[in-house]
Chain A
Amino acid sequence: MMSDLNKLTIAEARDALRKGDVTSVELTEACLSAIDAADALGAFVHKTPEIAMDRAKAADARIKAGDAPDMCGIPVGIKDLFCTEGVPSQAASKILEGFKPEYESTVSGQLRDAGAVMLGKLNMDEFAMGSSNETSTYGNAVNPWRAGNSDAALTPGGSSGGSAAAVSADLCLAATGTDTGGSIRQPAAFTGTVGLKPTYGRCSRWGIVAFASSLDQAGPMTKTVRDAAIMGAAMMGHDPKDSTSADLPVPDFEALLTGDIKGKVIGIPAEYRMDGMPEEIEKLWSEGTAMLKDAGAEIRDISLPHTKYALPAYYVIAPAEASSNLARYDGVRFGYRAKLAQGDGITEMYEKTRAEGFGDEVKRRVMVGTYVLSAGFYDAYYNRARKVRALIKRDFDEVFHEGVDAILTPATPSAAFELGQDVSDPVQMYLNDVFTVTVNLAGLPGVAVPTGIDRNGLPLGLQLIGRPWEEAELLNTAYALESAAGFVEKPARWW
C-alpha cells in the first residue's frame, strides 16, 4: 500500500485508483486519521466519517465496474456554506445552529454524484463575511504555515479559511470554497494552494447559503492547477434551479492543460501597484511576469482606471445584498431562536434572535447594507456603487477587447498575518480584498497560484484573471505559471 495517501493530488489519486494501486476506502481512512490528528487547525467543524466510508465503498465498487468519473473516490472537504443533506450546514453561524437541510446543494450534489467522498464540513468566516476566518461561530481555523521559528498562529485567510487550511495540511485532497470578494483566492494564496473562482454563473448557487447573490461563486481549492481543472469541471455546469446559471458547455479543462502560452498576451495593470505595497509582493509579481514572458507570452502594460473605486463599491453592494439575504434568519422556521421573556412578541423575537445569533461582523454588514438601501441614501450609495461596478466591468471588457488574454496581479497585499491582528479594524481587514474584489464585481474568472515564499518562509500567490467563460485558457496560463514557479514547499507539521 502507498504511504501518506492523504498527501496525494486528485490527479495522482485518480490514476492510482484506476490502476487499482489504492482504494477509495484507503484514501478516505488516511484523510480521516489526518483530520482527527489536526483538531488544532480548526479546519473541520463537522466530521462525517460514516458518510465518508459509505461513499468510499460505493466509489470503489464503481471504479471496479469501470464507471468512474475523475472525482470518483476522491476524499474532499465541503465548506460549511454548502447545504449538505442531513448534515449540519451552518455557514459558521450560531443563527443556523441545529440546521440540517433536507436538500443537497447543486455543486456538492454534482461532486457526490461523481463519486467524490465528503469527509466533513469546513470552517469559514460567518456567512462568508471575513478575510481571516475569525468571524466563525466555531472559532477560527489556523494556517498550517508558520512564520520562521515563530509559534504565532497565523490566519489561513477567509472566508474559505477551513478549506485552505485543510488542503494545505493534507487533511483532504481538495475542498470546495466560495468566493464573493476573494474568499477562495486570498486563503489559497495564504496557504500555498490553488484557488479558482469561476466566471459568475458557471457554478450553480442553488443550495449555497447566500451572502451577496450577484457576487457569490463556488470554486475548487486544490493542491495543483491540474486538480483545480479536474474538480472545477465537476463543480460547474448549467442548473435550471439557479436563474443566473449559464447554459454553456463545460470543457474538459484538464485535457486543455498544455502549458503552451506562446503568443498569449498577459496584461499587467498599473493600478494594482499600490502605494506601500510590500517589496516582496512587488518582487513576486515581477518574477511571475518574467516567468510568463519566458514561457512565450507577450507582456503588456494595461490600465484599469476604475480599480481604486472597486473596494468601496464592493463594500456597498455586498452588504446591501447581504442585509436582504440574511433577513430570513429570524428564528421563525429553523436554526437558533432566542429565549423569550414573558410578554415578548414577534418584534422581540426577531431582535433577540438576531442580536444573539449573528456575530459582530455580520451585524456590521447587515447594518451597512440596510443603511445604503434606505430611503434617501439609495442613490448616493447603492445606485452609485452599481454604476461604479459597470465601469469596472467596462475597464476589463476594453482590455480584453484589445487582445489581452489574461491579467496578472498579486493575489493579496501581504502574506498570512497573525490571528487577532486586524480583528478590531474592519477597514484594515477589508483591504485584504483589494486585488480580488474587482474580479467578482466584473463577474470574471480568477485563479490564485502559489509562486513564491516570503523571507519568513510563508507562501505567496499571484492572481490570474481571465476572460468570461474562458476558464480553460485561464487554467492553462495558470498551469504554465505553476510549472515555471515550481512551488513545492509544504508547511512543516506542528499540529
Chain B
Amino acid sequence: MLDLTYETPKAKTIAGAKHDWELVIGMEVHAQVATRAKLFSGASTQFGAEPNSNVAFVDAGMPGMLPVINEACVAQAVRTGLGLKAQIHLTSAFDRKNYFYPDLPQGYQISQLYHPIVGEGEVLVEMGDGTARTVRIERIHLEQDAGKSIHDMDPALSFVDLNRTGVALMEIVSRPDIRGPEEAAAYLLKLRQIMLYLGTCDGNMQNGNLRADVNVSVCLPGAYERYQETQDFSHLGTRCEIKNMNSTRFIQQAIEVEARRQIAILEAGGEIVQETRLYDVEKGETRSMRSKEEAHDYRYFPDPDLLPLEIEQAWVDHIAANLPELPDAKKARFMGDFGLADYDASVLTADLAAAAYFEAVAAKTNGKLAANWVINELFGRLKKDERSIADSPVSPDQLASLIALIEADTISGKIAKDVFEISYTTGRSPEEIVETEGLKQVTDTGEIEAAVDEIIAANPEQVEKAKQNPKLAGWFVGQVMKATGGKANPKAVNELVAQKLANS
C-alpha cells in the first residue's frame, strides 16, 4: 500500500505590534456514541423524542437506582480507539464528577478521569494543499451526557428534558498539536470522518452529537518547538478553553478572535487568566463563563457503584479484526490502485457512500475516468439538486456503462455529458439513450470524409486562409461536427481536415 507522506503545514501566525505570534490549540471533542441505549441504562438514545420520554429511573436519579454499563458503548469506544491507532486499556474505571444542575439529576456525571478506556493515539490531518499534520491523541474516555435545560419557554420557569441524560459520550482529548484555526476545523472533520467510517458516532454537529471544547494559547515563534522537544508546557502560553462549539466555521472564528484577545492583553503587558470562555457568535467575541471564585470543584472520586471495567484482549482483537477500511488506508489504496491524485482521492474518500459509489464505477471501467466523472459530473449535478450520493438517480452501473461508451469511442465526451443529463433526469440507461436517440459517434471515415469534402468545396476562401494559418483548421472541424450533429468522432475529423487541407 502507498504510504501517505506530507509536508507539515506552517503554524498560523498573527502579526502583533512588535512581532509575530503563533497559535497553539488542543481540543476536547465530545462525540455521542452511536448505540441504541444509554451508557448505564436501557433507555433509548433516539433524538427528537417527546421530552422526558427516554428516561429510565437511574437517568432521573431516583433513590436507590444503580448504573449498569452498556457493553455496546464500551465496544464503540474500543472501536474508536483502534481507529485512532490508540492504546486500549484492558482495565479502566469510572469516576464521579460532582456538581449541581437540574439537568444532572444524580448530582454527578459518571466519567473516567483517572483510568480512561483508551490511551495515546494519533490522527493524520490533511490540509488539502499537500500538507498534513499528525495530531496526537492523549486519551478517550467514556462519560454520561447531561440533559437539556430550557430557559426561554417561560419568563419565570425553566424546563428540563432528561432524554439526553446518561447518553454515552466519548471525550477525545488531543495534545496541543494543532497550530491554527483551519487545522482545528480539519482535525474535527477528520475525527468525524473516521468515526463515520467506524460507525461509532453519527457526526451530527447540528444536533450536538459532535461538539468540541477548544483550548487556545499564543506563544512567540520558536517556543512551540521547545515545547515539542521537551514536552514541557511552561514553554507555552496560558490557555483559555472555549466551551461547547458545534460548528467548524465558528470554531475557526472563535480561535482567531480568542488568539487576538490574548495577544492584545500580552502586548499591553497583561497576563492571561486560565479560564473557560464562551464564543458569542453574534458579537464575534469570547467572554468569560465564570470567575475563579465560581469555578467548580468537581470532587472527582471513583464511582463506588461500578467495579473497574475489565475487558479481554481477545475481545479487543476481535473488534480490531472486524474494523472497516479507514479513510487513510482507503485514500492510499485509491491513489495506488487507480492512480488518482491526492486531491481526488481525498474527495472520493471524504464520505463512505461516495467512496463505495466510486469503487463500484471504477471496478467496471477506467479508474481515473471514473474519478473525473464522479467528482466533476455526478457530484456537481447532485450538489445542484442538494441531493446526497445515496439518492443519485444514476446508478454506479449506469455511470460505468456511460464511461465504457466513451472509452469504446461509441460516443464523444461531449455527447456523454448530454447522455448523462438525460440519464440523470429520466433514469434511463446510457446504452439505451445512445441507441434510441441515435447518438452513436460516426467513426465511419467515408461518411466523415464526404462531409469534409463538401465543406472544403463550399468554402474556397476559408481554405486559402487556412493554408496560410493552420490554426484555422478548427473552423472546418467545427463545421463538420455541426454537419454531423456532433456525432462525428472528433479525432477522425481532425485528422481528415488536416489531411484534406494539406492536399487541396
The interface of chain A, by Cβ under 8 A from chain B, is 82-83, 89, 91, 96, 99, 101-103, 105, 205-210, 212-214, 240-244, 320-321, 323-324, 326-328, 330, 332-334, 346, 350, 370, 373-375, 378, 382
Residues of chain B contacted by A321 (CB below 8 angstroms)? 301, 304
Let me know if B100 and A91 touch, CB within 8 A: no
Looking at B101-109, B131-139, B334-342, B394-402, the stretch in contact with chain A turns out to be B101-109
Let me know if B64 and A83 touch, CB within 8 A: yes
Let me know if B304 and A328 touch, CB within 8 A: no
Task: Look across to chain A and name the residue whose beta carbon is closest to the beta carbon of B295.
Answer: A375
Residues of chain B contacted by A243 (CB below 8 angstroms)? 66-69, 305-307
| Given pairs A330-B100, A334-B63, A346-B102, 10 additional interface contacts (CB within 8 A) | A99-B63, A103-B64, A210-B64, A243-B306, A244-B304, A323-B299, A324-B107, A327-B106, A350-B100, A373-B301
Let me know if A370 and B66 touch, CB within 8 A: no
The residue from B62, B106, B307 contacting A101, defined by CB atoms under 8 A apart: B62
CB distance from A107 to the nearest CB of B (A): 10
Q: Does B65 contact A (CB under 8 A)?
A: yes
Q: Given A89-B63, A208-B64: A324 and B96 within 8 A (CB)?
A: yes
Contact with A along B102-134 (1 / 0, CB 8 A): 100111100000000000000000000000000
30 CB-based A-B contacts, threshold 8 Å: A83-B63, A83-B64, A89-B63, A101-B64, A103-B57, A207-B64, A208-B64, A209-B64, A210-B64, A212-B304, A240-B68, A242-B66, A243-B305, A244-B304, A324-B98, A326-B107, A327-B98, A327-B100, A327-B107, A327-B108, A328-B106, A333-B61, A333-B62, A346-B101, A346-B102, A346-B158, A350-B100, A370-B299, A374-B297, A378-B301
Task: Look across to chain B and name the residue whose beta carbon is closest to the beta carbon of A332.
Answer: B102
Task: Look across to chain B and name the residue whose beta carbon is closest to the beta carbon of A376.
Answer: B297
Q: Given A103-B57, A346-B158: A382 and B64 within 8 A (CB)?
A: no
Residues of chain A contacted by B307 (CB below 8 angstroms)? 243-244
Residues of chain A contacted by B297 (CB below 8 angstroms)? 374-375
Let me know if A334 and B66 touch, CB within 8 A: no
The residue from B64, B100, B101 contacting A206, defined by CB atoms under 8 A apart: B64
Let me know if B64 and A374 touch, CB within 8 A: no
Task: Look across to chain A and name the residue whose beta carbon is closest to the beta carbon of B99.
Answer: A327
What is the bound-complex CA distance between A209 and B61, given in angstroms?
11
Let me know if A328 and B61 touch, CB within 8 A: yes
**In this complex, which of B63, B69, B100 has the most chain A Cβ atoms within 10 angstroms of its Cβ?**
B63
Task: Look across to chain A and name the residue whose beta carbon is closest to the beta carbon of B104.
Answer: A327
The interface of chain B, by Cβ under 8 A from chain A, is 57, 60-69, 96, 98, 100-102, 105-108, 158, 160, 297, 299-301, 304-307
What is the bound-complex CA distance between A89 and B63, given in angstroms?
9
Residues of chain A contacted by B306 (CB below 8 angstroms)? 243-244
What is the bound-complex CA distance between A91 and B105, given in angstroms?
19
Let me know if B66 and A205 touch, CB within 8 A: yes
Let me know if B105 and A332 touch, CB within 8 A: yes
Task: Look across to chain B and name the residue whose beta carbon is closest to the beta carbon of A102.
Answer: B57
What is the bound-complex CA distance between A110 and B79, given in angstroms?
39
Let me know if B63 and A209 touch, CB within 8 A: yes
What is the bound-complex CA distance between A99 and B62, given in angstroms?
10
What is the bound-complex CA distance between A243 and B94, given in angstroms?
12
What is the bound-complex CA distance between A373 and B96, given in angstroms?
11
CB distance from A170 to the nearest CB of B (A): 29
CB distance from B83 to the nearest CB of A (A): 28
What is the bound-complex CA distance between A242 and B61, given in angstroms?
15
CB distance from A227 to the nearest CB of B (A): 26
Let me know if B105 and A328 touch, CB within 8 A: yes
Task: Look across to chain A and name the residue whose beta carbon is closest to the beta carbon of B299.
Answer: A373
Let me know if B304 and A214 touch, CB within 8 A: yes
Chain A interface, DSSP helix/strand/loop, else mixed: loop
What is the bound-complex CA distance between A422 and B488, given in angstroms?
109
Residues of chain A contacted by B98 (CB below 8 angstroms)? 323-324, 327, 373
What is the bound-complex CA distance between A101 and B62, given in angstroms?
8
Task: Look across to chain B and name the residue whose beta carbon is closest to the beta carbon of A370.
Answer: B299
Residues of chain A contacted by B64 (CB below 8 angstroms)? 82-83, 101, 103, 105, 205-210
CB distance from B474 to the nearest CB of A (A): 78
CB distance from A40 to the nearest CB of B (A): 30
Task: Look across to chain B and name the residue whose beta carbon is closest to the beta carbon of A83.
Answer: B64
Let me know if A324 and B301 touch, CB within 8 A: yes
Residues of chain A contacted by B160 (CB below 8 angstroms)? 332
What is the bound-complex CA distance between A91 and B300, given in angstroms?
26
CB distance from B491 to the nearest CB of A (A): 74
What is the bound-complex CA distance between A323 and B105, given in angstroms?
15
CB distance from B452 to the nearest CB of A (A): 86
Residues of chain B contacted by A328 (CB below 8 angstroms)? 61-63, 105-107
Task: Look across to chain A and name the residue whose beta carbon is closest to the beta carbon of B149.
Answer: A346
- The 4 A-B pairs of least Cβ separation, nearest first, read A327-B107, A214-B304, A373-B299, A213-B304
What is the bound-complex CA distance between A81 and B304, given in angstroms?
18
The residue from B66, B96, B102, B106 contacting A241, defined by CB atoms under 8 A apart: B66
Residues of chain A contacted by B65 (CB below 8 angstroms)? 206-207
What is the bound-complex CA distance between A374 and B296, given in angstroms?
10
Task: Look across to chain B and name the residue whose beta carbon is closest to the beta carbon of A371.
Answer: B299
CB distance from A302 to the nearest CB of B (A): 29
Let me know if B299 and A213 touch, CB within 8 A: no
The residue from A82, A333, A374 contacting B105, defined by CB atoms under 8 A apart: A333
Task: Look across to chain B and name the residue whose beta carbon is closest to the beta carbon of A369.
Answer: B299
Let me know if B301 and A241 touch, CB within 8 A: no
What is the bound-complex CA distance between A370 and B100, given in angstroms?
13
CB distance from B76 to the nearest CB of A (A): 19
Task: Look across to chain B and name the residue whose beta carbon is closest to the beta carbon of A210.
Answer: B64
Q: Given A89-B63, A105-B64, A327-B98: A244 and B107 within 8 A (CB)?
A: no
Task: Look across to chain B and name the residue whose beta carbon is closest to the beta carbon of A327.
Answer: B107
CB distance from A362 to the nearest CB of B (A): 14
What is the bound-complex CA distance between A99 and B299, given in angstroms?
28
**In this complex, which of B107, B158, B304 has the most chain A Cβ atoms within 10 angstroms of its Cβ?**
B304
**In this complex, which of A209, A326, A328 has the most chain B Cβ atoms within 10 angstroms of its Cβ?**
A328
Residues of chain B contacted by A330 (CB below 8 angstroms)? 100, 102, 107
Q: Given A334-B62, A374-B299: A213 and B305 within 8 A (CB)?
A: yes
Residues of chain B contacted by A374 (CB below 8 angstroms)? 297, 299
Residues of chain B contacted by A373 (CB below 8 angstroms)? 98, 299-301
Task: Look across to chain B and name the residue whose beta carbon is closest to the beta carbon of A81.
Answer: B64
CB distance from A440 to the nearest CB of B (A): 12
CB distance from B156 to the nearest CB of A (A): 10
Residues of chain A contacted by B69 (CB below 8 angstroms)? 243
Task: Look across to chain A and name the residue whose beta carbon is closest to the beta carbon of B63.
Answer: A209
Residues of chain B contacted by A375 (CB below 8 angstroms)? 297, 299
What is the bound-complex CA distance between A375 and B301, given in angstroms?
11
What is the bound-complex CA distance between A205 and B158, given in angstroms?
33
Let me know if A324 and B102 touch, CB within 8 A: no
Task: Look across to chain A and name the residue whose beta carbon is closest to the beta carbon of B108.
Answer: A324
Residues of chain A contacted by B68 (CB below 8 angstroms)? 240-243
Let me know if A324 and B299 touch, CB within 8 A: yes
CB distance from A108 to the nearest CB of B (A): 11
CB distance from B31 to the nearest CB of A (A): 24
Residues of chain B contacted by A105 (CB below 8 angstroms)? 64
Task: Look across to chain A and name the residue whose beta carbon is closest to the beta carbon of B103.
Answer: A332
Task: Look across to chain B and name the residue whose beta carbon is closest to the beta carbon of A351.
Answer: B100
What is the bound-complex CA distance between A243 and B105, given in angstroms?
20
CB distance from A194 to the nearest CB of B (A): 26
Residues of chain B contacted by A96 (CB below 8 angstroms)? 63
CB distance from B196 to the nearest CB of A (A): 32
Residues of chain A contacted by B304 (CB below 8 angstroms)? 212-214, 244, 321
Residues of chain B contacted by A350 (CB below 8 angstroms)? 100
CB distance from A143 to the nearest CB of B (A): 28
What is the bound-complex CA distance between A334 and B301, given in angstroms?
26
CB distance from B112 to the nearest CB of A (A): 15
Task: Look across to chain A and name the residue whose beta carbon is closest to the beta carbon of B101.
Answer: A346
The residue from A82, A99, A244 contacting B305, defined by CB atoms under 8 A apart: A244
